Amino acid sequence: MKKPLVGILMGSDSDYEVMVQAAEALRSFEVEFEMIVTSAHRSPERTAEYAGTAAERGIRVLIVGAGAAAHLAGVVASETTLPIIGVPIDSSCLKGMDALLATVQMPAGIPVATMAIGKAGARNAGLFAVQILAGSDERLAQAMRQSRQTMAEGVAEKSDRLQQRLIADGLM
Amino acid sequence: MKKPLVGILMGSDSDYEVMVQAAEALRSFEVEFEMIVTSAHRSPERTAEYAGTAAERGIRVLIVGAGAAAHLAGVVASETTLPIIGVPIDSSCLKGMDALLATVQMPAGIPVATMAIGKAGARNAGLFAVQILAGSDERLAQAMRQSRQTMAEGVAEKSDRLQQRLIADGLM
Amino acid sequence: MKKPLVGILMGSDSDYEVMVQAAEALRSFEVEFEMIVTSAHRSPERTAEYAGTAAERGIRVLIVGAGAAAHLAGVVASETTLPIIGVPIDSSCLKGMDALLATVQMPAGIPVATMAIGKAGARNAGLFAVQILAGSDERLAQAMRQSRQTMAEGVAEKSDRLQQRLIADGLM
Amino acid sequence: MKKPLVGILMGSDSDYEVMVQAAEALRSFEVEFEMIVTSAHRSPERTAEYAGTAAERGIRVLIVGAGAAAHLAGVVASETTLPIIGVPIDSSCLKGMDALLATVQMPAGIPVATMAIGKAGARNAGLFAVQILAGSDERLAQAMRQSRQTMAEGVAEKSDRLQQRLIADGLM
Amino acid sequence: MKKPLVGILMGSDSDYEVMVQAAEALRSFEVEFEMIVTSAHRSPERTAEYAGTAAERGIRVLIVGAGAAAHLAGVVASETTLPIIGVPIDSSCLKGMDALLATVQMPAGIPVATMAIGKAGARNAGLFAVQILAGSDERLAQAMRQSRQTMAEGVAEKSDRLQQRLIADGLM
Amino acid sequence: MKKPLVGILMGSDSDYEVMVQAAEALRSFEVEFEMIVTSAHRSPERTAEYAGTAAERGIRVLIVGAGAAAHLAGVVASETTLPIIGVPIDSSCLKGMDALLATVQMPAGIPVATMAIGKAGARNAGLFAVQILAGSDERLAQAMRQSRQTMAEGVAEKSDRLQQRLIADGLM
Amino acid sequence: MKKPLVGILMGSDSDYEVMVQAAEALRSFEVEFEMIVTSAHRSPERTAEYAGTAAERGIRVLIVGAGAAAHLAGVVASETTLPIIGVPIDSSCLKGMDALLATVQMPAGIPVATMAIGKAGARNAGLFAVQILAGSDERLAQAMRQSRQTMAEGVAEKSDRLQQRLIADGLM
Amino acid sequence: MKKPLVGILMGSDSDYEVMVQAAEALRSFEVEFEMIVTSAHRSPERTAEYAGTAAERGIRVLIVGAGAAAHLAGVVASETTLPIIGVPIDSSCLKGMDALLATVQMPAGIPVATMAIGKAGARNAGLFAVQILAGSDERLAQAMRQSRQTMAEGVAEKSDRLQQRLIADGLM
């Protein structure tokens, strides 16, 4: 088994449904990852320990998802100089706006690379980790370029299928 | 010199103008305090060290001010079981809304008692610390009740002065 | 029967589902409480009477939940010098943002210690009341420290269970 | 001296600049008013006393301005069945959004007729009080209708002057 | 059949579920009303015609509900000097925030007395209309005072029933 | 088959339910249109190609719907001088507020005519395209005027039916 | 003197500084316009009269700017089938968010083509009017295409000048 | 002269004051960069050309700042698989909230790593670019770790200086 290059952290196991999108994106590029639950507030030592030792264990990028007063990505960022990607999660009644602001509005000095709220953001976190790794891995760089082309073709196919729907609805 | 009962923390020395309101409130009740700068992100060890040892040094309440992605109060709260009072500070272009949400929307398990954004909140943080301490200090309890009466009288005096202003403006 | 140390107030009986979280938190620390419905607007005398006599009946902390233009915590705070903990409740179409601002943005002089919107906030209100009482009750202080340790262990257990889920989803 | 028909209340004398707009509107219709400072939180008894006796002293409408967690209008409304007109004041860093929500989102049972934030709202509060009184005072009703006509003529005059400005700017 | 004193207008028949709350409030005080659908945008002449003739037909107050870019209350207010009560309706994906701002932020000169978003606001609009009419109708004034007392008693009864619920949940 | 005058673009086929409202509005005025899926981000070349050649293929107006960070309308606008109508779509947890701001806040130089969020906006986009085309097509101008009259009559009919509902509910 | 093709309306003469941007945009394309002040609320008859007769006087497009509860564009749109371009103006303490929502969230049936808040929006309103007129005026179409090219060249020039600034700042 | 590894793009030269923070951060780590002005909307070809050729010219990371409907980062991201760091700029009356949402809410497939609004975000964009490059450059990794230590020491020094200020203010 190969050593993971990416760590995926989440503040609560209820964030799994969202954060699994990051895992799937990494898996589709055959990038090894590990995934753990740790909380900025409920398990601060565990969080500091994990973040502080990630680099020496070979981790290259950390993806961190959290909701509400989402401090986890910032706290992890304070313990390591690895690139941190933050995913705000919509888990309070404020629809993720709290998590977005708590993740993105980091003070000068400690960046958190913030993605969109929720599943789209988690998937993009996985892709962005691949883009970072691709800087020194030509296989990944090429796979990413290929993936973009596939995406563009998928759009054209969806557009073609839309014509059938217009006909079915009597609009063409 | 008596040992401080309240610690006032702020994420940046630029927060002093706001947080000094808490100090003045404590001073007016003759409650000893200490005040330090420490950042959740730029000095995580210093923050954890301070929060983790505050109780054993005799601190009874911590007041924590921070702006933007204001993680400091939550991070301090994760390192101690002392009551934490959070003051969101208006130091980004979002006018303190980011700091408010990042301070107040704490997950179940680790409370932060959040005050209003800015100077009113900092002053109230000082007063709330006094109210907590007053639970086991009858001198403080009585001083707080007295202070409320003085406040009420001040309102009536301001109202009286308003009549002069109405006359000056030709409205009475 | 022991006398209650904490009073839990709510503006409407429809807030019970949220505020019962505070009751359960207090119960888990064996702190006696009482719970009543009273409205800032529909029963102002009842509210003033309750708040004005709470201290002399031995109440040490008041937890107040309300939604929409949530005035109840502020009104209660104006009638007593006991520490008031406010819980904004998501009961209008504005998703609790109205209740949050109406609870937290108190003017200088009368603090309300505001918790997160909804159930997490209500649970934290109960915990924060325990933290206040723990200032002069070593049994509570120790129980709170123990509870934090249990929480941290719970996070690690959840993380372990997550690995099974990754395997089940074919991601590990 | 005639007895006042309208009471103008404000939570702080710093609200005078805004609330004087209401006074001027009433004055322009020769409606007698009184103006006092009283706070929902700092002087609750004074507020309840004033609101509870206003009707018997001949007051017919109350105009109430407050900022931040603007509880004053709601608190006054809970103590009387006179019509209450609320004016949210922009006196915190949230630009009056807090005052607006705390004033307008009243629960079913106790209405507060809310005006726009700030000076426009205060002026309209005065006009709305006149509209209420005009329901049983034909002089006021006629004066209000006349005032509308004057306003419409003022718009046309401003439009005429605009043409000069366009010419001055070389655009006509 | 007595002539209606209050007109209830709504921009769309889909607003009926909300606006019927105003009708029920008026009915409970035996105040006659009429209710019509008219749109600021889809039927501007009908709206102007209705608003412009309401006073002479004996209408004393108009209650106007609308959602989204809720112009109806303002447009009606521009055509009459009767008091206009606006009810913002949550009928777009912005949860009534659009309707609230479009109703309440009226420019100086033309007030709209704005209530809370949705059903609570519609009910309060009915009650506020009664409060206006009560200014010259002692029967209504007395009924309104009586209604407040009944409300306060209702709160106490709900509080009593809450105790049963606490026992059932094993918390008392 | 006549050549289309209007192109309807959407960023994802999941936007069809919303954007079909534009198609139906155009169809009701017998205006020919075409509808395609293309993404600002996933298929940038396809988007530039379509937008850049639309005018020469006889397209006169483009209607563009997109959600979240809705860049599509702006990107299309940058590639053609045809009038672009943007429809923000509610497809993220921020309820379309993100799409609204990303569509409407275009910098000086490249306008996007923005409609309401969601289905109402899509329908209005179709109607606005007709209004643009009607500037040089008297048949369309007359049909649009006729359609307005039908709308106004529909409002009156809905109002009549409302009276039945009031009677059924025992309110008349 | 040629007859104006575009009418620019604003709710108050204080909106001139913003709306003159639309005039300047039209002037730069040699499109004749007229500009008037009229208010949805203060001069409803004037507004309806102007809007209702604009088409027959040869006006082809209306540009409408208003702030706060910005009803003017919607009210004008209800009186004509000409294309209406709305410009939200930042003239209240809510920074134009109120004007934006009141302008853009129009109900299905009556579109208002909304531009960005403030000066950028006013300039774009002028440009969008040109784009509409260009549909049947090849001179305008060509001038608009030319203008786009000039804009692109301007960007490259600004970029060149930026290099000097970097050198001056010691960064290159 | 060494070839640049980072490209800094901005939508307007008025964004320079903000984006120069990114340049200074890169300079302090001796990372070569280039800086250009290009607009998503005013110069789409220039933007596509720059983004599409950046990788082959040796650029490893792109930092993109834009305000209002900030499409530039997303548009650049659609033309390259290099990592894109987005900086929302506060250049409209909505205080950067529009730029934040338009930058961060990217759809699944095309990530933009979003930083805080304004100068803090621009500085962090520079630091995050260094963190990405440090993944394959041990000199940078070590410099970044050293920089963190210096930051932590700076916090302690600021805290020491604060004590003088407290004494000067008579609070210690």
State the pLDDT confidence band at A172, using cuts at 50, 70 and 90. confident
Calculate the average pLDDT of chain H. Answer: 97
> Using the beta-carbon criterion (under 8 Å), do C102 and D106 form an inter-chain contact?
no
G19-76 pLDDT, tens per residue? Answer: 999 999 999 999 999 999 999 999 999 999 999 999 999 999 999 999 999 999 999 9
Q: Which amino acid is at G35?
A: M
Residue F172 reports pLDDT greater than 90: no
The maximal CA–CA distance of chain A, rounded, in angstroms, is 62
Nearest to F118 among E23, E37, E93 (CB): E93
Q: Span E6-136: which CATH code?
A: 3.40.50.1970
Chains A and F touch (3+ CB pairs under 8 A): yes
State the pLDDT confidence band at B172, using cuts at 50, 70 and 90. confident
Distances (CA, A) of F96 to E93, E95, F89: 7, 11, 6
Residues in A touching F13 (Cβ below 8 Å): 158-159, 161-162
Query: ipTM exceeding 0.95?
Result: yes
Q: Which amino acid is at G115?
A: M
F25-37 pLDDT, tens per residue? Answer: 999 999 999 999 9
Chains D and A touch (3+ CB pairs under 8 A): no
Indicate the DSSP class of residue E15.
Answer: G
> Using the beta-carbon criterion (under 8 Å), do D82 and E111 form an inter-chain contact?
no
Q: Is the torsion defined by CA of H149, H151, H154, H158 positive or negative? A: negative
Rounded distance between C-alpha atoms, residue B25 and residue B34, angstroms: 13
Rounded distance between C-alpha atoms, residue E3 and residue E55, angstroms: 12
Distances (CA, A) of H20 to A130, B134, G164, H10, H128: 28, 51, 13, 10, 15
Touching partners of C (3+ C-beta pairs < 8 Å)? A, B, D, E
With residue E10 as reference, give the H or E element that holds it. strand E6-10
pLDDT more than 70, % of chain D? 99
Burial of D171 (0-12, 13-18, 19+ CB in 10 A): middle
Residue F61 is predicted with a pLDDT of: 98
Rounded distance between C-alpha atoms, residue D63 and residue D87, angstroms: 7
Task: Please state the pTM of the whole predicted model.
Answer: 0.98
With residue E61 as reference, give the H or E element that holds it. strand E61-67
Q: Which of F39, F41, F80, F117 to mutate to test the interface with H (most CBs of H within 10 A)?
A: F41
Tokens 């949550």 map to which residue? E90
pLDDT more than 70, % of chain A? 99
Residue D61 contacts residue D86 (beta carbons within 8 Å): no
pLDDT more than 90, % of chain A? 98
Residue B24 reports pLDDT greater than 90: yes
Nearest to C37 among E95, E148, E155 (CB): E155
- φ and ψ at residue G54, rounded to 5 degrees: -60, -45
Nearest to D131 among E81, E123, E151 (CB): E81
> Using the beta-carbon criterion (under 8 Å), do G155 and H37 form an inter-chain contact?
yes
Residue E136 contacts residue E32 (beta carbons within 8 Å): no
State the pLDDT confidence band at G2, using cuts at 50, 70 and 90. confident
Residue C48 is predicted with a pLDDT of: 98
Residue H172 reports pLDDT greater than 90: no
> Using the beta-carbon criterion (under 8 Å), do E152 and C42 form an inter-chain contact?
yes
In chain D, whose CA is at the least distance from the CA of C42?
D78
Calculate the average pLDDT of chain D. Answer: 97
pLDDT more than 70, % of chain G? 99
| Helix pair H138-168, B44-54: axis angle to 10 deg | 50
E30, two tokens: 């035996």
In chain C, whose CA is at the least distance from the CA of E100?
C94
b/e per residue H129-149 (b: at least 16 CB within 10 A): bbbbbbbebeebbebbeebbe
Nearest to D39 among B155, B165, B169 (CB): B155
Residue G1 reports pLDDT greater than 70: no
In Å, how far is B119's CA from the nearest CA of chain D?
10
> Using the beta-carbon criterion (under 8 Å), do C106 and D78 form an inter-chain contact?
no
Residue C138 contacts residue C125 (beta carbons within 8 Å): no
In chain F, whose CA is at the least distance from the CA of E91?
F120
- Those residues whose C-beta lies under 8 Å from the C-beta of residue D85, and which sit 6 or more positions away, are D61, D62, D63, D64, D73, D112, D113, D114, D115, D125, D128, D129, E113
Rounded distance between C-alpha atoms, residue C50 and residue C59, angstroms: 11
- φ and ψ at residue A86, rounded to 5 degrees: -100, 135
Q: Which of D15, D91, D105, D112 to mutate to test the interface with C (most CBs of C within 10 A)?
A: D105
State the pLDDT confidence band at C2, using cuts at 50, 70 and 90. confident
Touching partners of H (3+ C-beta pairs < 8 Å)? A, B, F, G
Rounded distance between C-alpha atoms, residue A16 and residue F32, angstroms: 47
Write out the residues of chain C at the interface with chain E, using a CB-CB cutoff of 8 A.
Answer: 12-13, 16, 20, 23-24, 27, 35-39, 42-46, 68-69, 92-95
Show the beta-strand stretches assigned E in chain G: 6-10, 33-37, 61-67, 84-89, 113-114
Residue D148 reports pLDDT greater than 70: yes
Collapse the DSSP code of D88 into the 3-class scheme (helix H, G, I; strand E, B; otherwise coil) and give the result. Answer: strand
Rounded distance between C-alpha atoms, residue F70 and residue F11, angstroms: 8
Rounded distance between C-alpha atoms, residue D145 and residue A11, angstroms: 62
DSSP calls for F26-50: HHHTT--EEEEE--TTT-HHHHHHH
Residue E39 reports pLDDT greater than 80: yes
> Using the beta-carbon criterion (under 8 Å), do B115 and C124 form an inter-chain contact?
no
Write out the residues of chain H at the interface with chain G, using a CB-CB cutoff of 8 A.
Answer: 12-13, 16, 20, 23-24, 27, 35-39, 42-43, 45-46, 68-69, 92-95
Rounded distance between C-alpha atoms, residue G4 and residue H11, angstroms: 35
Domain ranges of chain H: 6-136, 138-172
- φ and ψ at residue C62, rounded to 5 degrees: -120, 135
C104-147 pLDDT, tens per residue? Answer: 999 999 999 999 999 999 999 999 999 999 999 999 999 999 99
SS (H, E, C) E110-131: CCCEECCCCHHHHHHHHHHHHH
Q: Which amino acid is at F29?
A: F
F18-27 pLDDT, tens per residue? Answer: 999 999 999 9
Residues in G touching H42 (Cβ below 8 Å): 148, 151-152, 154-155
Calculate the average pLDDT of chain C. Answer: 97
Among candidate residues G22, G30, G18, the one with its CA nearest the CA of residue G123? G22
> Using the beta-carbon criterion (under 8 Å), do B105 and A102 form an inter-chain contact?
yes
Tokens 């998937």 map to which residue? A123
Residues in D touching E141 (Cβ below 8 Å): 81
DSSP calls for F87-146: EEE--STTTTHHHHHHHH-PPTTS--EE--SSHHHHHHHHHHHHHHHGGG-HHHHHHHHH
Distances (CA, A) of D58 to B172, D4, D77, E135: 18, 7, 16, 11
Nearest to D92 among B117, B154, B158 (CB): B117
Residue F1 is predicted with a pLDDT of: 63
In Å, how far is H80's CA from the nearest CA of chain B?
30
Q: Which amino acid is at C144?
A: M
H132-152 pLDDT, tens per residue? Answer: 999 999 999 999 999 999 999
The end-to-end CA distance of chain F, in Å, is: 55
Write out the residues of chain A at the interface with chain B, using a CB-CB cutoff of 8 A.
Answer: 11-12, 39-42, 44, 48, 67-71, 74-75, 77-79, 92, 94, 97-98, 101-107, 109-110
Rounded distance between C-alpha atoms, residue A72 and residue A86, angstroms: 9
Chain F with chain G: Cβ pairs closer than 8 A: 107
> Using the beta-carbon criterion (under 8 Å), do E116 and C92 form an inter-chain contact?
yes
Chain B with chain D: Cβ pairs closer than 8 A: 57
Residue H1 reports pLDDT greater than 90: no
Residue D85 reports pLDDT greater than 90: yes
Q: Average of pLDDT values for H21-31?
A: 98
Burial of C1 (0-12, 13-18, 19+ CB in 10 A): exposed
Residues in D touching C39 (Cβ below 8 Å): 107
A1-10 pLDDT, tens per residue? Answer: 689 999 999 9
Tokens 């509400």 map to which residue? A68
Residues in B touching H117 (Cβ below 8 Å): 92-94
